[in-house]
Amino acid sequence: MARNSAQWHEKPKFPNSHFVDSRIYTDDALFREEQEKIFNKTWIIACHESEVPNVHDYRTFNHPGGAKLFVMRGDDNKVRCFYNICPHRGNALLYDPVGNTKRITCIFHAWSFDAKGACVDISRGKAGYQDRYGCEDAGLREVRTEVGFGGFVWVAVDDGACTLNEYIGPALELLGDNLNEPLEVFHYHKAVVETNYKLWHDTNSEFYHDYMHYFNRATGMLQPGYFDRKYTGYANGHASVGSMSVKYDAYDGSKARAVGWPGLAPGGWVLIDIFPGMTYNLRTSVLRMDTAIPLGPNKVVIEFRGLGLKRDTPEERAERIRDHNVIWGPFGRNLHEDLLGVFGQGVAMRTGSDSKWVLHGREENSTIHDEVGMRHFYGEWSRRMGRAAYDPYGDNKLAKLERAA
């Protein structure tokens, strides 16, 4: 029987951890708070070391906390990150998304900086500032940067944040042997989707939606081992889904993947979600990295990188590129199915459709269709925000009754 308005708003008959209030996906003020309490306090992937391979290569990065940054490789080969802001009067320094320059010269009044962020020239400095201000006062704002866990360039805008190792903890141990060799990005693309970033991360945190994926139903869900995969939650909101072997030959038009990956069983698949919006997805021959960079509560840039081994022969690389692009990348169907799913959620939640509750209530012993991965994420989200995801403003009457009881 269909439900009337009162029934539709009834609190689900689950524990409070098993559903969330849909306003956490649409509310502008909550999003600003997420920038402050989540994105500006955690380690975020800006890019991969292979995207700045040479001395003086740079790449700009819009940090999800809002800061405009750029990553640059110094003459000492070290990768650093800075605010893309001139210390003089706040002009943007670099405009191209990628490039190579020995000196960064601000177009406004021609102050110059080197690749380590030191100011090397203030035009007519002495004439205007005498001895009151000089290059030593005018370095760029450096952002803590570490390269690791597969050669990714991680940044933390909060100088007081824990170390990257502390932040990741044991969450990437399942991939330990798979990330020992230098990697290289061979494919990058991005999708701009009108939805909330958490909804994308949700698709990487639950596999019940394999019903949406024709390909996964054939290669995964119908194969032995699929329902044995278990979620493991780690501190700081990270989670992994155990490995399984994917039967690619179960899908017409596909075949067993030949190239493989060091330390991974043939057809192996390991997926690890890193809070708040990054996913390592190692499938057989390709590592796919998803990074979700929100532009607001209702808009997200999702970056997709396909990585192979730096030492690949041209033939091996061609095989990885084909596997990535035709199955998991822009020319496959999985990605578009996922994008359709999160776009549909975004439309429903922000258009006043009265979508009040979002259920995360499946329990199947932490196996693949259990929604424990999302519950783990929202547990961490609530902790960092100081707000319950099921009742973010404390105005939920039913929740209040429950608290009073």
Which residues are at the interface with ligand FES (CB under 6 A)? 86, 88-89, 91, 106, 108-109, 111
- Residue 112 burial (CB < 10 Å; 0-12/13-18/19+)? middle
Q: Does 391 bind Fe ion (CB under 5 A)?
A: no
Q: Which is nearer to ligand FES, 102 or 189 (CB)?
A: 102
Q: Which is nearer to ligand FES, 31 or 111 (CB)?
A: 111
Contact region for Fe ion (CB under 5 A) — 111-119, 283-291, 334-342, 369-377? Answer: 334-342
Among ligand FES, Fe ion, none, partner that 186 touches (CB below 5 to 8 angstroms by kind)? none
d(CA 401, CA 15): 14
Q: How far is the CB of 47 from Fe ion (least distance, A)?
A: 24
Residues 324, 193, 214, CA angle at the centre, nearest 5°? Answer: 45
Q: Does 323 bind Fe ion (CB under 5 A)?
A: no
Question: Which position's Cβ is nearest Fe ion?
Answer: 338
Q: Which is nearer to ligand FES, 110 or 359 (CB)?
A: 110
Can you spell out the DSSP letters for 79-116?
EEEEESB-TTT--B---SSEEE-SSEE-TTT--EE-TT
Would you say 191 and 318 are in contact if contact means Cβ atoms under 8 Å apart? no
**DSSP state, residue 361:** -
Q: How far is the CB of 127 from ligand FES (least distance, A)?
A: 15
Would you say 270 and 280 are in contact if contact means Cβ atoms under 8 Å apart? yes
Q: 161-180 b/e with 16+ CB inside 10 Å = b?
A: beebeebbeebbebbeebbe
Q: How far is the CB of 216 from Fe ion (least distance, A)?
A: 7
Tell me the two tokens of residue 310: 């730096």
- Please choose, from the candidates 187, 174, 342, the residue with its C-alpha nearest in 3D space to the C-alpha of residue 271: 174
CA dist list (Å): 212 to 216, 219, 339, 340? 8, 13, 11, 10
Q: How far is the CB of 206 from Fe ion (least distance, A)?
A: 9
Q: Which is nearer to ligand FES, 116 or 362 (CB)?
A: 116
Q: Which is nearer to Fe ion, 340 or 398 (CB)?
A: 340
Among ligand FES, Fe ion, none, partner that 232 touches (CB below 5 to 8 angstroms by kind)? none
Q: How far is the CB of 334 from Fe ion (least distance, A)?
A: 6
Count of residues that bind Fe ion according to CB under 5 A: 2
Q: Which is nearer to Fe ion, 145 or 205 (CB)?
A: 205
Q: Which is nearer to Fe ion, 83 or 248 (CB)?
A: 248
Within 10 A of 392 (CB to CB), how many other CB atoms are there? 21
Among ligand FES, Fe ion, none, partner that 338 touches (CB below 5 to 8 angstroms by kind)? Fe ion
Q: How far is the CB of 126 from ligand FES (least distance, A)?
A: 16
d(CA 182, CA 149): 10
- Is 402 in a helix, a strand, or coil? helix
Q: How far is the CB of 24 from Fe ion (least distance, A)?
A: 21
Q: Which is nearer to ligand FES, 72 or 185 (CB)?
A: 72
Q: Which is nearer to ligand FES, 121 or 316 (CB)?
A: 121
Residue with token string 């698709």: 203
Q: How far is the CB of 263 from Fe ion (least distance, A)?
A: 25
Among ligand FES, Fe ion, none, partner that 88 touches (CB below 5 to 8 angstroms by kind)? ligand FES
Contact region for Fe ion (CB under 5 A) — 17-25, 63-71, 196-204, 268-276? Answer: 196-204
Would you say 308 and 213 are in contact if contact means Cβ atoms under 8 Å apart? no
Q: Does 338 bind Fe ion (CB under 5 A)?
A: yes
Q: Which is nearer to ligand FES, 125 or 225 (CB)?
A: 125
d(CA 369, CA 209): 8
Q: How far is the CB of 109 from ligand FES (least distance, A)?
A: 3
Q: How far is the CB of 369 from Fe ion (least distance, A)?
A: 13
CA dist list (Å): 139 to 93, 228, 261? 13, 54, 43
Contact region for Fe ion (CB under 5 A) — 60-68, 197-205, 223-231, 389-397? Answer: 197-205
Cis peptide before 276 (omega within 30 of 0): yes
Among Fe ion, ligand FES, none, partner that 106 touches (CB below 5 to 8 angstroms by kind)? ligand FES
Would you say 356 and 9 are in contact if contact means Cβ atoms under 8 Å apart? yes
**What are the residues binding Fe ion (CB under 5 A)?**
203, 338
